[in-house]
């Protein structure tokens, strides 16, 4: 009997689909997806509800959102691209710059979508191990660049481990890589960063013409369900990205929500400060318990549970805390509702004793 299945690219046939954080039962806290625990900012729901012309296409260019972001960051409108989440822009950047025979460099472990982004583009991943503290080894990443490297991704703060790249580290790094290499600074969690030494991508765009900065409305702005992210960078690079994008992919509702959220910056900053303060409290408590927690600058913390990862994730789940497990490496726990903290820390305290007893 002949095989009548259609041809699938071999590398795609074995590529696992992106796996989101587990959903939670009503009685559990979902701390697996780095979602914002707050409801939409005031005025956002009303702005979305006003977009009722479902029979009409949205503005394909998201011009109003791009214009507002351009005003805020001091760029031209063509130097802003809006897409359904920053991960969509990663796909577009990879397809615009890399193909078979080309390489894309990124740290590992980092955002789990990176390997799939590269594979779908037809390029080859070059993964550079993080430092022992969970941060990027920028010297090793620069050394991994070859004549085949077309794109390099820096994730700060690094998801899922938490540390940032400092401004000084990034400046030295940019001086060591070719100016023809596209460097993507993935700042999905930038609003939560409190480290004064951390790099801030938008301020560097004029200085580095090979730099693209990614941001999102999914995390700090709490619009994860509406899928709106954006990129800042050279117009000709973003024009290539727009050529690779799926047309009409950012809904009118998402665009309206983004604009309404941008109008509520003071309320946003209050919420972000509250989450960051809770994050710092959790980190301090975990370290006091004996956990080796890396510096946390996003809205999440990382527990290096190693070979005990599955056991730890199950214990948290039994306690009503759904976490994100990375097999044989560790677990990432989002900073969510205040009510979850007591259970989180109590479970972590019991776990650290178990893990130390088995070493």
HEC string for 155-217: ECCCCCCCCCCEHHHHHHHHHHCCCCCEEEEECCCHHHCCCCCECCHHHHCCCCCCEEEEEEC
pLDDT given at position 355: 73
For 319, half-sphere exposure in the C-beta direction (CA atoms, 13 angstrom radius) is 22
Distance separating alpha carbons of residues 299 and 297, to the nearest angstrom: 7
Using a cut of 0.85, tell me whether the model's pTM lies above it.
yes
Question: In sequence order, what E strands does the chain have?
Answer: 29-30, 80-83, 103-108, 124-129, 149-155, 182-186, 211-216, 229-232, 300-303, 321-322, 324-326, 330-334
Q: In sequence order, what are the beta bridge partners of 166? A: 198
pLDDT given at position 356: 63
**If you search the block for the tokens 């890589």, which residue do you land on?**
177
Contact 235, 76 (CB under 8 A): yes
pLDDT given at position 15: 79
For 216, half-sphere exposure in the C-beta direction (CA atoms, 13 angstrom radius) is 25
The token pair that represents 103 in the structure block: 């390489």
Distance separating alpha carbons of residues 106 and 158, to the nearest angstrom: 11
Contact 283, 301 (CB under 8 A): yes
pLDDT given at position 96: 97
Distance separating alpha carbons of residues 286 and 273, to the nearest angstrom: 20
pLDDT given at position 117: 97
Distance separating alpha carbons of residues 151 and 134, to the nearest angstrom: 22
pLDDT < 50: residue spans in the chain = none
Instruction: Tell me which residue of 207, 133, 220 sits closest to 170, measured CA to CA.
Output: 207
């Amino acid at each position: 009997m002949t095989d009548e299945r259609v041809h699938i690219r071999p590398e795609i046939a074995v590529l696992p689909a992106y796996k989101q954080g587990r959903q939670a039962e009503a009685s559990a806290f979902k701390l697996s997806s780095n979602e914002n625990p707050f409801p939409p900012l005031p005025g956002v729901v009303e702005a979305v509800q006003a977009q009722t012309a479902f029979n009409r296409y949205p503005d394909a260019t998201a011009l109003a959102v791009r214009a507002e972001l351009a005003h805020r960051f001091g760029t031209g409108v063509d130097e802003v691209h809006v897409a359904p989440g920053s991960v969509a822009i990663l796909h577009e950047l990879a397809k615009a710059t890399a193909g078979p025979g080309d390489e894309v460099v990124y740290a590992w472990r980092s955002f789990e979508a990176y390997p799939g982004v590269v594979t779908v583009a037809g390029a080859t991943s070059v993964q550079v191990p993080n430092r022992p503290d969970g941060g990027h080894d920028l010297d090793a990443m620069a050394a991994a660049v070859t004549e085949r490297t077309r794109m390099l991704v820096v994730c700060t703060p690094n998801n899922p481990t938490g540390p940032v790249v400092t401004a000084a580290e990034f400046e030295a790094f940019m001086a060591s890589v070719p100016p023809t290499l596209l460097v993507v600074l993935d700042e999905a969690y930038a609003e939560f960063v409190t480290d004064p030494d951390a790099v801030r991508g938008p301020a560097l765009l004029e200085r580095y013409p090979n730099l693209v900065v990614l941001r999102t409305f999914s995390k700090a702005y709490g619009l994860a369900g509406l899928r709106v992210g954006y990129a800042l960078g050279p117009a000709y690079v973003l024009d290539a990205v727009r050529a690779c994008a799926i047309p009409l992919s950012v809904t009118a509702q998402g665009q309206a929500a983004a604009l309404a959220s941008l109008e509520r910056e003071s309320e946003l900053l209050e919420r972000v400060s509250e989450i960051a303060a809770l994050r710092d409290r959790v980190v301090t408590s975990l370290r006091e318990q004996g956990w080796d927690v890396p510096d946390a600058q996003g809205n999440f913390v990382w527990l290096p549970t190693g070979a005990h990862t599955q056991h730890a994730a199950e214990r948290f789940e039994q306690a009503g805390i759904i976490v994100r497990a990375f097999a044989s490496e560790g677990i990432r726990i989002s900073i969510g509702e205040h009510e979850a903290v007591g259970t989180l820390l109590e479970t972590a305290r019991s776990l650290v004793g178990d893990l130390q007893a088995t070493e």
